[in-house]
Structure 1
Amino acid sequence: MAYTLPSLGYSYDALEPDFDARTMEIHHSRHHQTYVNNLNAALKDHELSSLSIDDLVTQLDKVPADKKVAVRNQGGGHANHSFFWKNLKHGTTLSGDLETAIKTAFGSVDAFKAEFEKAATSVFGSGWAWLVLQNGQLKVVKTSNQDSPLMGEAISGASGYPIIGLDVWEHAYYLKYQNKRPDYIKAFWNVVNWDYASERFSQAK
């Protein structure tokens, strides 16, 4: 069973002006598609390709040594982006149990945003910033390249169940924001799909 590029579920211009349509189109139809193509090539005719993408990246120890780097990078890219697209939407509001949990964990929503922005800004080169649920506690973590917290501390340097995530590879923002990554990170708060994040949090508790 081959992995496939998921539909965004919205148009490429749906996140304007915060995330521009041209970047979204290239990011989804080219970058993400490339991860899918390369992952399928790496696992061609292999039984591991029957796993869901999240299950695959949590079980890298089962991947043959000669395929592990490709599956980590390409599978991580597919898993992270498949999550990222669902994580984006205009017009939702942080509320309910997730808002309460964020205030409990970080002291305030503003303090959480500041910690998240610091993590996203401080990723050297390419990577991701995440809000995860880790052993019942909300944490901000970051990963390099296409590593995911689902891979665990030993591989990615982070662990936990992703609640929100932000791609800080330059391909995610360079057409609009050029080298101004902090501006892109600030714009992210306008497009976080808090409804989806709340669903994730409820499922993980």
Structure 2
Amino acid sequence: MPKLILVRHGESQWNLENRFTGWVDVPLSPKGEEEARIAGEHMRDLPVDKVYTSVLQRAINTSKIALAAAGKTEDLPTERDEALNERHYGDLQGLNKAETAEQYGDEQVKIWRRSYDVPPPGEKGESLKDTAARTLPYFEAHILPDIKAGKNVLVVAHGNSLRSIVMALDKLTKEQVLELNIPTGIPLVYDLDDAGNVLSHAYLFER
């Protein structure tokens, strides 16, 4: 029974500073590095055959730290692709979330952050729907075939790219996904059958 392990990267420096990060390639904070290490310690008993990450360093380094802490030091086959990147926050990238709420209003910022199909301002701004439009085809073309081949797969990515995957796996509606929040550094493990259907899922631990 193959496993799919989803991990949102540890806290980044801009998470700490309460900034919209998106595609900006900021590093992990010291707390984020510790979250990655703790995630790895909880993954010691989980087999991993292949690793997928985004191309952003906070996801790449989370995977490296977690795998080292899990004792999985062998060179695992790894793919990195921007299809797994965080959603692009457009003109909001780099802005402080509280200051943005003061400027535009709490309700508008909540819509930009949590709605399914309303993108933030800016030509490159992506809604969750836009993010899913690149993340899910990649998942179905690359990750799902590995699972169907019986491999245990680790995916280290971002809040919204992972939300789009969970939305598909759990068959959530547009309304249900609005309440979905994936915490940093806590592995979410899916047990799947050979056809890729979900049998069960649970977080490895609670914080």
Q: Normalized against structure 2, the TM-score is what?
A: 0.29
Pick 1 or 2: higher relative contact order, CA cutoff 8 A, min separation 6.
2
Q: Normalized against structure 1, the TM-score is what?
A: 0.29
The structure with the greater share of residues assigned to helix is: 1
